Structure formats: structure tokens, C-alpha cells
Chains A and B, each alone.
Chain A
């Protein structure tokens, strides 16, 4: 960070109430906005800590308003969907059981296609199968659903030769036009994975599709 842009000015005189002159002492500490910001956040958090503890106490005495999603199973390849619906798809097009039966797969086995294993990986995965990019998905057609505040989407993912060759939307009950997810379909095909976790600058209307693809890929893993 380069110093000099933001000079801390403390104790500016309140109009008409003090006579403290504004001055810049040579010893005055220069701080970046990042410094001012983090000090502000810490200061507010410290004061409010007690308030949030009170809220927590209130909560622990009552029913916790958790999401309607059922308990979550591990979804390999899913990078986002904490609330992923793990119930079997209502359209059993394959013999494969739905996401509930998906075996928890080692973290790191689902990185972007072609990327090297991340060096900062946490507890090493169990030394079981670590599929290569080519074999990470089992061939077949997988159908799964995703839901969001904006509505539900069903996706059909086709794996051939270990690769995702299709990730079509096969049912769409969303408040927004379903073609909105078309670029995500391309992203799934190009990355061979679920789309990005989030999109900055956009409300997350694509959640249902991403969840559906994640659930389908969980079956395929």
C-alpha cells in the first residue's frame, strides 16, 4: 500500500464547540483507507459483540430458523451449494440413485479441469481414488433438480468418455426467463465443472441451475 493518500485527521473541531485548531503534526501517522476501515470494523464489532451474543442466547432457547433444506450430503464438484437439495430427483431416468447416495469424495478431486492440485490443501484427502480429469465422471445421463428463491430448475447432464457433453435445462419454473442460464451451460461445458460460486454485481438468480448441475455431477462422480 502506498502511503500518503489518506492522512488521518482526528479531533477535527466541531463547529462552534471547541477551539482546537486543525493542525497536521509532522508526527501524524498516515494510514491507508484499508487501515482506517479495518480499525472501524473492529471497533464496531467489539462494541456490538455483546448484542449479538444476546441474540444468540435468544436463539438457543428457541427453534433455530434454519433453512428449509434437508441435511446436506457431500456433493463433490459442488462449490457453492450449502443448502443443496439432496433428495432423489423425481425423474428417475437412470438407475443411479440421486445425490443422497453419492459417496463423499475427497476434497480437491473436483478442481477445474486441467488445474494442478492446490498446494494449500487442507487435511489430505483419504488415499482412495483420486480420479483424473479424464475419469472424474462416470458415463451416463443424470437428472437432478435445484431450487432457489427465484424458482426451481431441473438439469440433465450427459457424461460421455468421462466428460460433460451436455448440461441442459430440462425443466424450468423460475421467475426469470430460463434462457438466462444459457451462458452457465456453456461455462459448465468449458470448465467441466459447476459454474462459479458467485457472480459479483448480480443477484444470484442462477443458484437453482448451479445446484441442479452439482447434484447431477454428484451422481456422476
Chain B
């Protein structure tokens, strides 16, 4: 997805040539909780606060929609209903079909380092509670490590999905990004906007100082320090870190290697800059599992810039990462 960076800024002022345009200024900010994280929306522009609020409400609507369909922690979600139907082709919504199709494409491109069938492994590692209700989710017949992305069969013509064996899909690494990307589409008419969902950021247009948005990259061991900072417009900056969520069952953190079922230890954090948050998030997760060398190679093969802090705190970047530096 290519966001029209600063498009509105280049458009002639509606007040006509010669008239001084209204200053671009912050018009709206809100924070809500979705997907177990804070989702902040900032809008800058010349419109009214109310226009910002209406657009932001639509944007948040996408988070609600994506979460309702893709949650692994709600037995009633479309995702979990699909997971309960092993062996038979199931018709699914366009949203679930497309996000799953994308997740499988990332799985193939990363040789399985990213795998959306990791749900049973995640559950066994203790990532099994709904953050809103606190209730644990049942796993059914799916067992950790017994299925892979190759067991998910897609039929685009009929928009159906069949699971070849019992498995639990986990779209955690793509759903939040998807929600950010869809939300961003609701905000594109403004001179600038930014969506920050728990440190995964998509910024469009320019900030209130009429510059590309400045995004720092968190140091994985010093919560308030930065390892680098970048300027972006029309791009997502997502970071997967080993400091984010600890497991309850002896795993160090939430980014598990699908092949071992254990926390991947080659990296402390991976930051990716991509045209969409969904892509940034998914490739960041894959690169985290692959480790610095193969991870950077994957990002470069996909034309995505990234920065990896390895287990020794050394920093690895893609060749053209430097062009984003603030």
C-alpha cells in the first residue's frame, strides 16, 4: 500500500490562490485499547476537530472489526470457528481470507520462520488468556508442533479455507498491522496522521511542523533509550522485541520459533520500515526468528528496510536503512 505522503499538502488551498492557508495544526488525538495494547491516533491538518473525530472513529472501527474476526482468544471469533472445523472447506469473510492468504505468503517467503499455525505452540507456552476477560482459551485437538502452514489450503475462487489437520491459527503478527493499515485509509484525507498501536507506528503525510514524522527505535534493554531514530511519511515502523511479553510456561518471550516451539534467541529486537504495517510486522517477526544474518537477507529480498539488535546488542541494518535516519 502506498500512502499518499503529504498529498493533501501539495493540493492548492481551497481558499484560492493568494489567500493565506490555515495553518496545519494538531486537530485530534485519542487513545483506545484494542488487541491488548494502546492504540493512539493523531491527526494534523486544517479541518475541524470534529472531522478528525469522525475519521478516527471509523479508523478505530477497523481495529474492532479485525480483532473480532481474528482473535485467537475468543472461541466465537471467525478465526476460531475456522480452527474448529478441521478437514472441511469453510467459507470465510474477505477479511479473514485475505489476511490468512498474506500470512501464508510470508510463511512461504520465510521458509516457515513465520508460521500462522503457531497457535497451539503459543497456547502451550502460556499465551492463552483473553486480555479482556482473563479467561483461558481451550485448544481442542490441536497439539504444538504437529501442523505447519502447509496444512492450510486456500481456494480463492470460492473464498474457502480448509485445514488439513487439527491446528490453531494465530494471526497476532499480522492482524494488528492489518488493522493499522485499514485504519490509515480512513485518515488519508488529512495533511498528516499517525497511528501508534503499542509501538507499531504508521505515519502518513507530515507532522504539525510540516516534516516527516520522527520515530525513535526503542533500545531493547533500556526502556527509555533509543538505538536509532528515523523520519517517515507514508510508511510503517514496527518493532518486535523480546522484552514485550513474557510467557507463563518457561518461555522467555512471545516470539517463538515455529520449528522449536521456543523463544527465538538470536535477536533482542527487530525494527522494520515498510509501506504497510502488516508487512512490517510480519516480516519483522520472521526476521526475528531467522536472526540477524538470514533476517536481514529476507528483508532485503523483499525490499524492506530494517534494523536488528542481536543477542549481543550489536546492530545490523539493511543496506539502505540509513536513508531513513532522522
Residues of A near B13 (CB, < 8 A) are 123
Q: Could you tell me how many residues of chain B have their Cβ less than 8 Å away from some Cβ of chain A?
A: 110
Q: Beta-carbon contacts of A123-141 to B below 8 Å, as 1s and 0s?
A: 1001000000000000000
Given contacts A11-B156, A52-B58, A55-B61, contact A202 B199 (CB under 8 A): yes
Would you call B89 and A44 a contact (CB within 8 A)? no
Residues of B near A48 (CB, < 8 A) are 62, 65, 95, 182
Would you call B213 and A197 a contact (CB within 8 A)? yes
Residues of B near A17 (CB, < 8 A) are 89, 155, 160, 162
Write the residues of chain B forming the contact surface with A, with a CB cutoff of 8 angstroms.
Answer: 1-2, 6, 9-10, 13, 20-21, 23-31, 37-38, 40, 42-44, 49-50, 52-54, 57-58, 61-62, 65, 87, 89, 93-95, 98-99, 101-102, 105-106, 108-109, 153-158, 160-162, 164, 178, 181-182, 185-186, 191, 194, 196, 198-201, 203, 206-211, 213-218, 220, 222-226, 229, 237-241, 244, 269, 271, 274-276, 278-279, 282-283, 298, 300-304, 326
- Interface of A (DSSP majority class): loop
* Nearest CB of chain B from residue A19's CB, rounded to whole Å: 12
The docked-state distance in angstroms from the alpha carbon of A198 to that of B203 is 10
Q: Beta-carbon contacts of A143-170 to B below 8 Å, as 1s and 0s?
A: 0000001000000000000000000000
Given contacts A12-B153, A79-B213, contact A56 B218 (CB under 8 A): no
28 A–B contacts, CB within 8 A, in A order: A1-B302, A4-B301, A18-B155, A33-B102, A33-B283, A33-B302, A38-B276, A43-B94, A47-B93, A51-B65, A52-B62, A64-B57, A65-B53, A67-B30, A78-B26, A79-B209, A79-B213, A80-B208, A81-B26, A82-B43, A83-B30, A83-B42, A112-B326, A120-B206, A183-B226, A197-B215, A200-B217, A201-B217
Would you call A41 and B209 a contact (CB within 8 A)? no
Residues of A near B102 (CB, < 8 A) are 33, 36-37, 40
Would you call A40 and B99 a contact (CB within 8 A)? yes
A-B contact count (CB 8 A): 297
Q: Beta-carbon contacts of A23-52 to B below 8 Å, as 1s and 0s?
A: 000000000111011111111110110011
* Nearest CB of chain B from residue A105's CB, rounded to whole Å: 8
Would you call B101 and A36 a contact (CB within 8 A)? yes
Would you call B229 and A75 a contact (CB within 8 A)? no
The docked-state distance in angstroms from the alpha carbon of A149 to that of B283 is 31
**Given A34-B304, A80-B42, 18 more pairs with CB closer than 8 A:** A6-B302, A11-B157, A13-B153, A15-B87, A15-B153, A17-B160, A33-B279, A37-B282, A41-B185, A55-B58, A79-B213, A82-B28, A118-B210, A121-B210, A122-B6, A196-B229, A200-B218, A204-B196
Would you call A199 and B211 a contact (CB within 8 A)? no
Query: Which residue on B lies nearest to A69, using beta carbons?
Result: B29
Residues of B near A122 (CB, < 8 A) are 6, 9-10, 24, 191, 206, 210
Question: Which of the listed residues A12, A66, A78, A197 has the most CB atoms from chain B within 10 Å of its own CB?
Answer: A197
Residues of A near B326 (CB, < 8 A) are 112, 196
Residues of B near A123 (CB, < 8 A) are 9, 13, 21
